[in-house]
Amino acid sequence: MKKVIILCICLCLYYNVSNAQDQEQKQEKNKTHFAVKIIQNSVAGFSPLFVGSFETNKNFDITFYSMFWTNTAFGNLESGSDQLLETGVGLGFKLMKGSLYLNPGVGFAHGKFFSTVGGTLVGEAIIPNTFMAYHDSIFDFEAYIAYYKSLRNREDISTRDLFLFWAAPGINVSDRVVLGGFFEELAFMGLEDDTIPEKNIQVYRFLGGSIKLKMDSGIAFRFSAGANLVTDVGASDEFYKVSAFIPF
């Protein structure tokens, strides 16, 4: 009888240890994150963004992203093909007990948007960038800055760079709603086109209001609209921008 009892106890212990190991392995396997952000801009057009991260044992995550600039103005006007594509990696740091998130990274642009080359180029431009987010019970703030530096500097083609910055400061008026402002600017930099005397051209400079709706499962919807303060390319005096963040 004692042997039977000892055997049952051993089997129970083995089951508990094995189950705990399986749960731990599942948790380790689940230390990844992936999300899609759908963006519609009144000037830049429709841009789906894919973002993901791998948790590490350190105080940072390894992040990656891919963004498709599907507006045909950024590709081949005749066929609408060869859009600007971004791919990149970075490091995500959670600071201030998780309230502050910093994600510096570097990306590469692919296509033929940053030069007058006739065909698609892989690694046409390098994109140092940083995303920042701060969230607590009162404030909700997000910002992004990037500089697109052309890498194809040849004598037989002309190149251009691009500067992008946006910021969305807000206040939590409830658990579901954030009200605040919105600023975004996009500009061509270092133009080498001899037919254009200016080396820097402001595509737009948006300033307006923003509302963000926080849904279940981390889903967030933002609508921003207001005035276009400066444009050198004839963009409209008003703007809108819609984005939906959908994690999986």
Residue 144 belongs to domain with CATH number: 2.40.160.40
Q: Would 8 be classed as within a structural domain?
A: no
Residue 24 belongs to some domain of the structure: no
Total domain count, the chain: 1
Integer Cα distance of 123 and 89 in angstroms? 14
Instruction: Evaluate whether residue 25 is within a structural domain.
Output: no
Give domain status of residue 211, yes or no.
yes
Could you list the beta-strand ranges (E) of the chain: 32-41, 45-55, 60-69, 84-95, 100-111, 121-135, 139-150, 161-172, 177-189, 201-214, 220-230, 238-247
Question: For residue range 164-207, what is the model confidence (pLDDT) as tens digits?
Answer: 999 999 999 999 999 999 999 999 998 877 667 778 999 999 99
Percent of the chain with pLDDT over 90: 61
Which of 59-73, 214-228, 230-244 has the least mean pLDDT? 59-73
Q: Which two tokens stand for residue 183?
A: 């600023």
Task: Tell me the average pLDDT of the chain.
Answer: 85
CB 90 within 8 A of CB 64: yes
Instruction: Say if 204 falls within a structural domain.
Output: yes
- The pLDDT confidence band at residue 17, using thresholds 50, 70 and 90, is very low
Domain that holds residue 46: 32-247
Residue 69: band (very low, low, confident or very high) from pLDDT cuts 50, 70, 90 = confident
Are 129 and 160 contacting, i.e. CB atoms less than 8 angstroms apart? no
The predicted pLDDT at position 84 comes to: 86
With respect to residue 191, please indicate whether it lies within any of the assigned structural domains.
yes
What CA–CA distances, in Å, run from 110 to 67, 100, 148, 186?
Answer: 11, 31, 11, 19
Inside any domain, residue 27 = no
In a domain, 193, yes or no: yes
Please give the backbone phi and psi of residue 92, each rounded to the nearest 5 degrees, phi first. -110, 125
Average pLDDT over residues 12-26: 50
What distance in Å separates the CA atoms of residue 235 and residue 120, rounded to the nearest whole number? 27
Q: Is 80 helix (H, G, I), strand (E, B) or coil?
A: coil
